[in-house]
Every structure is written in C-alpha cells, then in structure tokens.
Amino acid sequence: MTSTLGPPPPYYENRGFQPEPPYAARPAAGAHPYPQLFPTNPPSVPSYVPRVATHQSTRPAAPPPRRTCAASLRKTIIIILSILIVICCAIAAFFIWYFVENNCLSSLIECGSSGVCMPPSQWCDGVSDCPNGEDETRCVRLFGPNFILQVYSPVSKSWYPVCQDDWNDDYGKIACKDMGYSVDTYFYSRGVPDVSFKSYMKLNTSAGNIDLYKKLYSSGSCASGSVVSLRCIECGLASKSASIMNRIVGGSGAVLGQWPWQVSLHVQGTHVCGGSIITPHWLVTAAHCVEGRLSDPHSWRVYAGILNQDEMLFRSGYKVQLIISHPDYDTDSKDNDVALMKLETPLSFTENVRPVCLPNPGMMFQPNQQCWISGWGAEYQGGKTSNNLNYVAVPLIERSRCNAVYIYNGMILPTMICAGDLAGGIDSCQGDSGGPLVTHHHSVWWLVGDTSWGTGCATPNKPGVYGNMTVFTDWIYKNMQANR
C-alpha cells in the first residue's frame, strides 16, 4: 500500500496510433472548438466542411503545446484520483475489518457477539443492559481449591475476593445462581482467614434493598480478615474411597459409591460413552460422543448409580432434554472435546449418585498428580465394552512431555491433558470416552478431564488424552446459566 503513495510511475506518450481521447480537456471558454479545421474567418457561403473523423489514426501535423500540457494535467489528476481511491478503499476495508472483528471501540465492551457495546460501568452493576444479559453473567467465580468467591471489577479489569464482613447465605445463593447453579443445591458459605489480599470487595449494608453487585465496593480493608468461601453444591464426595490397588485396561472392578458421578450413556439400549454428574440436571461428556446423528437428545438414555450394564437393560434411564457441544470442538484434532447434557428430570442424589466438583480457576495440579479414570470401556484394545464399571489410577503427564516427538509429537493442545503410564499397560479405551478423570485434593474429588482419545489402548508411549476441564469450567457455567 505504501508504494502507491510514492511518486507516479514514468509516463511514455506514444502519439503514433493514439485514438482521440474520450474526455479531452475542454478548450477555454470562447475559444474556437476546431481551431485547426476552420479558417479564421468563417466562409460567407455554405462550403464543404470536412467531417470530424471518429477514428482518426493520424493527428494534424503539429501537435499544439496546449494539448500536451492538458494531457499531462489529466494524467496527474487521474493518478491523484487513483491514489485517493486506493486510500479510501484501504480506510473502508480497515473499518469493515474493525467492526467485524471487534464491534466495539476500545473503551466499550461488546455484549457477546451481538455487536451491542456497553461502557464498563454498566457491566456487573446488577442491571442487565445487554440483549442477552451478558453484562451480568460472568461477574462472579470461585477460585482455587478453597472455593474463594471472587467478584470481577470491569473498571480495574481484575478479580477481587469478597470480605466476609456482613456476608450471609442469601448473598451466597445470589452468587451461586449467577454462576448457573440452582438454589436447591446450595451448600454453604463461610469465611476463611486470609491476609494475602490487598484489596477486597465489601458489602455496603446501608445501600438498602438493591442488587448484590451494586452493594459491593472495593476496599483496602476487611475487619474480619476473612474472605468468603462459597459452595454452590455439595460436590466431590464419595461414600467409598478408592482402594489404591491396582480392568478399563489394567484396572479393577469398582464398588457402588466409589465413583458416584460416573454415568453410562446409552443409545438404543447399548452403552456408548461415559459422563460425569455435575448438578442434578447437568452432565459433562465428550463432544465426539454426541457428534452427527448422536447430537439428537432423544437418542440418549442416562444411567446413574448402577455398576453393571446388564442391570441397566431392565431400567428405563433418564431422558436428555438438551445437548450442548463446545462450539470450538474440532473433529480432526479433538480440540475442545467437551459437551454438556441436560436431563429432562433431575437426578436425586444418594450415596451412589453424586456430583463431582468442577475445577476452579487457579487450581494447581502437580505435574505427576495421581488421578483416576473409570468407565465401562474395553478391557483391551479391540475388546468389547465391559459389563462392570472399572477404574484405574493414572498419573498426569506434563503437556510438554506428552508432546515429545516419540509420544504425541505436538498433538496435545492446551484444551487437552495426558494421563497414564508411558510404560503402557493401564489406560482408558473405547467406550470410556466422555467419562471422568478425577483427582482427590483438599478433601474433595475434582473433575480434571473427560476421556477423549489415544493411539491404541495402553500402548507404551501412547497415554490417554483427556479434555482439560479447567479450561472448560467457564464455558460450562455460562451454558448452565443460559439454559437454566
């Protein structure tokens, strides 16, 4: 583009066979239009006047110097006009790009991808201004293994913990609802001593009966010295603990209550995939399980709290109301291999049917963190699905290591996490997909991943690959919130 702004290219005139230009420079007003063809004094009697040829291959002998001047002026004008057109096109292209890519000017925030722009002051103020209320949906989160409640400040573009002073469960329920939980599952909120924070969100109790987020203001002090820890659902508890003995491939048969979040997903009376319970209404599974014709919720039946497949054949299972696949799921790379299923009727939680905790942002899993996988998948590569639920312990494998040339050679994307034994022998396999990869940390079980893919099963240097749940948590809450 810059080259069009340089000096105009040299112009060579070839007057040998040049046709009459269609828009010749106008002669000066009053000048005779055909000075070469008419005699200075017009004839007094009609006389033959040669016609003006429309295709004249030769010009009158001496080209007048005025025409050369007009021609070069015309060319200069054309060049300047061309440059101006190119500049205008470039500016127009920039604006089209800017408004397609980023609908809002820098000081504004776009409502989803609606093209509607809002100033930061209208975000998280308790008043829904965006067409779909996006300005109020992502203002709270739970952070780290202690479920520390944090509120987003759009003005400083950062998250603050909430000071426990004057906090109560009514506020906790509002925050949980805003994350997509139902008040029916509300567990508790309590203060946890923490002095590591410099700034807090504090409640202005004199503000009257207004929205929670309008009552919060940022403050450098917190009298109680405690921040709010919030549990929106009693998740991550198992009535039977995993015995660390070590079929899945190379695993053991599970007992009831050991993996109470594990569900079996059936199509036409056959186990197809696994899944994990996160609320009475919602399950997490893999996007590749619900691809194509399997994206129809009516195809599926969900079984919870049952260990053996043959037992499920006599039960009716739960119907599925809605399936949401991650919009960025990629069939080939298995990028974002996660999906949500919403049940028509809620599960009732028992000793053997319970939710697992979604990982909060800011959770630190160790590079070799011990995790467990469970499922009714094949017990060896090419085998048929298992009748009983199996489980096995698998350590996480660091992404950089799993991407080594001799392992998965760069195929492990940030939305994936590897787990297994590089020596082989233990692994998930066909039929385990969508099921849980969990870890026990701070006394609760966390959903670290969903079974996604692997080369063969339990092959040396080809560990299992799982969807990296931590990066999906936000997407999950957003969708639960939008489809309550």
Among 270, 321, 430, 481, binds ligand ARG (CB under 6 A): 430
CB of 464 to ligand ARG, least distance (A): 3
Long-range contacts (CB closer than 8 Å, 24 or more residues apart) made by 255-260: 255/307, 256/305, 256/307, 256/351, 256/352, 257/351, 257/352, 258/374, 258/391, 259/372, 259/374, 259/389, 259/391, 259/436, 259/438, 260/305, 260/350, 260/351, 260/352, 260/353, 260/354
Six-digit token string for 87: 């500049």
In the complex, the smallest distance separating the C-beta of residue 428 from ligand ARG, rounded to whole angstroms, is 4
- Range in contact with ligand ARG (rule: CB under 6 A) among 186-194, 262-270, 350-358, 429-437: 429-437
Q: Is 433 a catalytic residue?
A: yes
Q: Which residues contact 206 (CB under 8 A, 6 or more apart)?
A: none
Q: Applying CB under 6 A, which part among 45-53, 102-110, 392-400, 446-454 lies near ligand ARG?
A: 446-454
The alpha-helical segments, DSSP class H, found in 49-64 are none
Instruction: Provide the minimum distance between the beta carbon of 275 and ligand ARG in the complex, in angstroms, as a whole number.
Output: 12
Which of 377, 395, 436, 467 lies at the binding interface for ligand ARG (CB under 6 A)? 377
Q: Which stretch binds ligand ARG (CB under 6 A): 30-38, 74-82, 170-178, 421-429?
A: 421-429
CA separation for the pair 340, 56 (Å, rounded): 78
- The total of other beta-carbon atoms located within 10 Å of residue 153's CB is 19
Q: What is the chain's length?
A: 484
Half-sphere exposure at residue 402, Cβ-oriented, CA atoms within 13 angstroms: 24
**Pair type for strands 140-143 and 148-153:** antiparallel
Site for ligand ARG contains 134 (CB under 6 A): no
Q: Which residue of the chain is nearest ligand ARG when measured via CB?
A: 454
Residue 288 a catalytic site member = yes
In degrees, rounded to 5, the angle at the alpha carbon of residue 444 between the alpha carbons of residues 370 and 245 is 40
CB of 458 to ligand ARG, least distance (A): 7
The only residue of 439, 451, 470, 473 in contact with ligand ARG, by rule CB under 6 A? 451
Please say which residue, 178 or 432, places its beta carbon nearer to ligand ARG: 432
Residue 467 touches ligand ARG, criterion: CB under 6 A: no
**Does residue 433 belong to the site contacting ligand ARG (CB under 6 A)?**
yes
Catalytic residue chosen out of the listed positions 281, 288, 326, 441: 288
Residue 359 in the binding site for ligand ARG (CB under 6 A): no
Exactly one of 431, 436, 449, 467 binds ligand ARG (CB under 6 A); which one?
431
Q: How far is the CB of 354 from ligand ARG (least distance, A)?
A: 23
Q: Is 179 exposed, middle or buried (0-12, 13-18, 19+ CB in 10 A)?
A: buried
Which of 343, 457, 476, 480 is close enough to bind ligand ARG by CB under 6 A? Answer: 457
Our CA angle for 125, 130, 133, nearest 5°, is: 70
Alpha helices in 155-222 (DSSP H): 169-179, 212-215
Q: Which segment (9-17, 311-319, 395-403, 450-458) binds ligand ARG by CB under 6 A?
A: 450-458
Does the protein bind ligand ARG through residue 429 (CB under 6 A)? yes
Of the CA atoms within 13 Å of residue 214, those in its CB half-sphere come to 11
Q: Which of 264, 433, 441, 452 is catalytic?
A: 433
Q: Quick one: which of 483, 481, 465 has its CA closest to 473? A: 481
427 contacts ligand ARG (rule: CB under 6 A): yes
Shortest distance, position 454 Cβ to ligand ARG, whole Å: 2
337, 421, 427, 450: the catalytic one is: 337
Report CA-CA distances (Å) from 191 to 9, 182, 234.
75, 22, 17
Taking the least distance from each CB to ligand ARG, the nearer of 146 and 370 is: 370
432 binds ligand ARG, rule: CB under 6 A? yes
d(Cα 231, Cα 173) in Å, to the nearest integer?
9
Known catalytic residues are: 288, 337, 433
Q: Which residues bind ligand ARG (CB under 6 A)?
A: 377, 427-433, 451, 453-454, 457, 464
